[in-house]
Chains A and B, each alone.
Chain A
Amino acid sequence: MHIIPLDHETDFHGWRKAARALALNDVKPSDVSWTIAGNAPELFAPTALPLEPPHGTFNVSSRFVELAKIAILHRNPQRFALLYRLLWRLRSNHDLLDIATDPDVAEIAAMAKAVRRDEHKMHAFVRFREIGREHKSHYVAWFEPEHHIVELAAPFFARRFADMPWSILTPDLCAHWDGHAVSITPGVAKSEAPTADRLEETWRSYYASIFNPARLKVKAMRNEMPKKYWRNLPEASLIKPLIEGAARSTSAMITNAATEPHKAQKRLDLSKGNDEGNDMPPKHDGDDIETLREEAADCRACPLYKDATQTVFGEGPPTARIMLVGEQPGDKEDLAGKPFVGPAGQMLDRALQEAGIDRRTVYVTNAVKHFKFVPRGKIRLHQKPNTAEIRACRPWYVRELTAIKPELVVAMGATAAQSVLGKITPINKNRGSLIHLDDGTRALVTVHPSYLLRLPDAEAKAHEYERFVQDLRIAADLLRKSADAA
């Protein structure tokens, strides 16, 4: 039997050095006993066997080293032996740590988890008390960790409270920060720690006020804030009285429920009469674009408004000579409330420019003015509007058309063509020629720019884009001719 004395409770280096020597000497885990120097030896201590000086070396994964560094902070006295047993077994089974069902692996993982949890709780439940005031103040806390975590947890406080001197006192070790470095000193008694802070009453009244007595869930609280931490939390003394008073204050809320409205309400009602407070928004029949836009914002002609963010109405100068009609707003347009601002919009901008049309001079709108989609996790999948939705939205297009009175309407895509021409109209058959509408307006049918975006093949994309620009050039030519004629 080998007795290995370690320097202190968290002596990872000592453990590592000894473990390496033991393993290289082929000492079985059952033949090793680990102790802490200074702790009284067992009454019938097994005799210590000398180790051969180790020769050779071996590697373990850094994952094991990291795990061991944390697990060794656990208070369980068996941890050194367990770690050595794992090390021993890892030499013949490199994948051992991946076997979550192995009892040794499960146990070490549970230990590491308990240490991490204790560290997290220390970050959470340390309560500093201020000693001295203002510029000379020093912040001191008393904490009783479950495991040997003071050195593990201290850097967190150094990063967080870098501009103030603090000390965390515990029965094991104390950590201090002077603004430059963390220093560690031996543990002290609780009586060394300050017992009060000027803010504590304020903190306790916050704790009491943020608690909702109607939703008592004591078990949930105790799972996250186990009782062992309570004695050092200033707010914990309120827990019992708050629970005891909860039923009373809740039933008081319920029985005293309805009172007469406060007089402020009446005052406000009076003040409301002049400009707000009409339930019905004014209906405008005037057909200037701004009025139409306001009216369309409340449109509920089809169910698409429900899931969409907002109505995306047309945009552009009221004197525009070309009106571009797309299919429906997409994701970006729905969020921004403007037509053609997403990827298809950028494609359109580029094509317009190449065709010699300034986007700022045209009126751009969509046949359907709410985004239609189905949510799929974090994205919204675009859905094609159906005929009922196109029909429901068509009055807006008609009123826009009447307000703008463009010389030419360019319908981009099948949905737009259906709305502009009032019937289902195949694109390819009608593309590239001017169609005379009943009201004297001319229409031009082409593809929707998002069609170009969807083409997977680069060559086809370039070709189709060129055709799209060609179609827009027809519009540009028409404008030029009519300008010349004027």
Chain B
Amino acid sequence: MDVQRKLEILADAAKYDASCASSGTEKRDSSDGKGLGSTAPGMGICHSYAPDGRCISLLKVLLTNACNYDCLYCVNRTSSNVPRARFTVDEVVQLTIDFYRRNYIEGLFLSSGIIRSADYTMEQVVSVARKLREEHRFRGYIHLKTIPEADDALIAEAGKYADRLSINIEMPEENSLAKFAPEKDVRAIRRTMGRLRLKLDETKENVRTATKTKPPRFAPAGQSTQMIIGADAASDKTILDTSANLYGSYRLKRVYYSAFSPIPDASRALPLVSPPLIREHRLYQADWLMRFYGFDADEIVDETKGMLSLDIDPKLAWALRHRDRFPLDVATASREDLLRVPGFGTKAVDRIIATRRLTSIRVADLARLHIPQKKALPFIVLSDHRPSLHLLDGAGLAERFKPKATQLGFGF
């Protein structure tokens, strides 16, 4: 089988994993002339976008899609009839370098089906990264998928070469993982995440206190995970609680939500419908509220329903449930409160705080602050605007925000 055919199979097998970012790592470049590549520490670079709206930042492939496990939701499960392939270590290394030199990618995201044993598989994955770093002096981004239960020494080595390590929690609840992925052990996954966090903490501590010798590096872009949404019956409340737990327990950089989409040759036990993309989007918005807007997991979802609204975004939904906290006077409100106004992003809030010291803010200014008027005005007081309480308390307010019924389809 030639490399291009293998690439087709092993990229296809990797496309259900949502994580792809190349951000948040240390700053590196090759201006010393001895290597290839650099990293953009602030934000990663997306080199292309597929028609599914997802960015292509890394060469995302599996080392092999052969797998001993039989996870129902996974296209690579042992009982699936998909064609199988396996890259050699050198093939992945060469592809990465070749693609990188043409500026197609920021680096490599390597995962693998589990073959023989956790240690054997992890050793293969690590050897690709080792070769890239040591033989090719590759300084681009490397994200490795960690195999749970792999030996500590292999994990340490993976962290030495990789920018980010990840391990997928897969399902929001332990019992659904047991049902869908009988060979996977949520305890082992969590233990590995815990080990990673200890190593990350330790490295950070060493960097802080280091005097002369530089401490060994360990995954400077931290760890992330992925949860599949919509394959099981977990509610949004459950999903967000699980995320809050994972963020708090293991300091994950990201939890990726991946709407379960039909896979070739799928199991009968799965909902084979279009993936719940809007739900996925709402979960990302809710996740954002937890990480950047000071919301707690348990206030984002309406307790009685357990699900996020599909019609309106979670912050607007929260504001509609808490109308007694509005309208908010933009001239005097605290940063924390401003962050809770529908339509106010973190940058807009920063600009408001700088601006209001010097001048009053009027309705016409909202556009210059990139704030959508329709969304924000019912909730705020400006120097030339006060919403009618009739509107804020009225039943019609929520209706104003519901999208008009539109025909399904895609503009092209």
**Cα separation A108 to B280 with both chains bound (whole Å):** 36
Beyond known contacts A212-B15, A257-B266: 19 more, CB 8 A cutoff: A98-B354, A98-B358, A99-B355, A101-B359, A101-B365, A103-B368, A159-B29, A161-B103, A164-B36, A206-B99, A211-B50, A211-B52, A215-B54, A218-B411, A221-B52, A225-B49, A243-B412, A253-B264, A265-B70
Give the Cβ gap from A142 to chain B, nearest Cβ, in Å. 12
A332 to B101 Cα, complex, angstroms: 43
B294 to chain A: closest residue by CB: A377
Q: How far is the CA of A217 from the CA of B49 in the complex (A)?
A: 10
Q: Which residue of A lies closest to B259 (CB)?
A: A215
The residue from B12, B30, B194, B251 contacting A336, defined by CB atoms under 8 A apart: B194
- Determine if A101 and B191 form an interchain contact, defined as CB atoms under 8 angstroms apart: no
Inter-chain contact A239/B354, CB cutoff 8 Å? no
Is A163 an interface residue, CB under 8 A from the partner? yes
- Complex-state Cα separation, A373 to B99, whole angstroms: 46
Which B residues from 1 to 24 make CB contacts under 8 A with A?
Answer: 3-4, 7-9, 11-12, 14-16
Cβ-neighbour of A335 out of B195, B296, B357 (below 8 A) = B195
| A220 interfacial contact with B, CB 8 Å | yes
* A158 (CB) vs chain B CBs: closest residue: B31
Complex Cα gap A207–B194 (Å)? 35
Question: B272: CB under 8 A from chain A?
Answer: yes
Interchain nearest-CB distance for B207 vs A (Å) = 18
Q: Are B274 and A214 in contact (CB under 8 A)?
A: yes
Query: Using an 8 Å CB-CB cutoff, how does the interface string of B257-278 with A read, 1 for contact, 0 for none?
Result: 0010111111110001111010
Are A199's CB and B31's CB within 8 A? no
Is there contact, CB below 8 Å, between B37 and A210? no
- Which of A197, A208, A217, A336 is B277 in contact with, Cβ under 8 Å? A217
B179 within 8 A of A: no
Given contacts A210-B15, A215-B259, A262-B80, contact A126 B103 (CB under 8 A): yes
B335 beta carbon closer than 8 Å to chain A: no
Interface pair B245/A375, CB less than 8 Å apart = yes
Is A424 interfacial (CB 8 A cutoff)? no
> For the complex, is B190 an interface residue (Cβ under 8 Å from A)?
yes
A95-B358, A215-B275, A310-B190 are contacts. A380–B248 as well, Cβ < 8 Å? yes
CB distance from A225 to the nearest CB of B (A): 4
Query: Contact partner of A163 among B33, B247, B267, CB < 8 A?
Result: B33
Bound-state Cα–Cα, A228 to B166, Å: 35
A219 is an interface residue with CB less than 8 A from chain B = yes
Closest Cβ of chain A to B194, distance in Å, is 4
Among A99, A209, A239, A380, the most chain B Cβ lie within 10 Å of the Cβ of A209
Q: Does B320 contact A (CB under 8 A)?
A: no
Interface-forming stretch among A12-20, A117-125, A412-420?
Answer: A117-125
Q: For the complex, is A471 an interface residue (Cβ under 8 Å from B)?
A: no
Q: For residue A207, which residues in chain B have a CB less than 8 angstroms away from its CB?
A: 48, 50, 56
Contacts of A123 in B (CB 8 A): 40, 45
Taken together as a complex, chains A and B put the C-alpha atoms of A161 and B140 apart, in Å, by 11
Contact of A254 with B272 in the complex, beta carbons under 8 Å = yes
Determine which residue in A261, A332, A335 has the highest number of CB atoms from chain B within 10 A of its CB, and name it: A335
**CB atoms of B37 and A212 under 8 A apart:** no
Contact between chains at A98 and B355 (CB < 8 Å): yes
Q: Point out the residues of chain B lying under 8 angstroms from A453, CB to CB.
A: none
Determine whether A224 belongs to the interface, using a CB cutoff of 8 Å to chain B: yes
A372 to B247 alpha-carbon distance, docked (Å): 16
A182 to chain B, nearest CB (A): 11
Shortest Cβ gap from A126 to chain B (Å): 5
- Residue A259 CB within 8 A of the other chain: yes
Among A215, A219, A309, chain B packs the most CB atoms within 10 A around the CB of A215
B234 on the A face (CB < 8 A): no
B176 to chain A, nearest CB (A): 13
State in angstroms the CA–CA spacing of A199 and B100 once bound together: 11
List residues of chain B with CB within 8 A of the CB of A268: 68, 70, 78
Number of interface residues of A (CB under 8 A): 89
Contact B104 A127 (CB under 8 A): yes
Cβ of A155 to closest chain B Cβ, rounded Å:
9
Chain A residues, CB < 8 A from B369: 100-101
Nearest to B348 among chain A residues (CB) is: A100
From B45, B174, B187, B251, A124 is in contact (CB under 8 Å) with B45
Q: Tell whether, in the assembled complex, residue A306 and residue B174 are in contact, meaning their CB atoms are under 8 Å apart.
A: yes
Partner of A246, one of B51, B80, B193: B51
> A327 within 8 Å of B by Cβ?
no
Supposing A209-B12, A210-B56, A259-B265 touch, asked if A128 and B355 sit within 8 A by C-beta, the answer is no
Contacts of A318 in B (CB 8 A): none
Q: Does A205 contact B (CB under 8 A)?
A: yes
Report the minimum CB–CB distance from B258 to chain A (whole Å).
10
Interface of chain A residues 157 through 213 with chain B (CB within 8 A): 157-164, 179, 197, 199, 201-203, 205-213
Tell me the nearest residue of chain B to A199, going by C-beta.
B98
Interface assignment of A48: CB less than 8 Å from any CB of chain B: no
- Report A-chain residues with C-beta under 8 Å of the C-beta of B250: 335
Cβ A310 vs Cβ B191 within 8 A: yes
Residues of A within 8 A of B49 (CB): 220-221, 224-225
Beta-carbon contact of B198 and A335 below 8 Å: yes
Q: Which residues of A contact B410 (CB under 8 A)?
A: 216-219, 243
Task: Report the minimal beta-carbon distance from B372 to chain A, rounded to whole angstroms.
Answer: 16
B392, CB-defined interface residue at 8 Å: no
**Nearest opposing residue in chain A for B280, CB measure:** A215
Task: Known A160-B38, A162-B32; judge A235-B48 contact (CB<8 A).
Answer: yes
Flag if A210 contacts B50 (CB, 8 Å).
Answer: yes
Q: Are A217 and B52 in contact (CB under 8 A)?
A: yes
Contact A215 B261 (CB under 8 A): yes
Cross-chain contact A310 with B277 (CB below 8 angstroms): no
| A309-B249 in contact (CB<8A) | yes
Known: A139-B101, A224-B46, A254-B273. A378 touches B251 (CB 8 A): yes
Interface: B53 (CB within 8 A):
yes
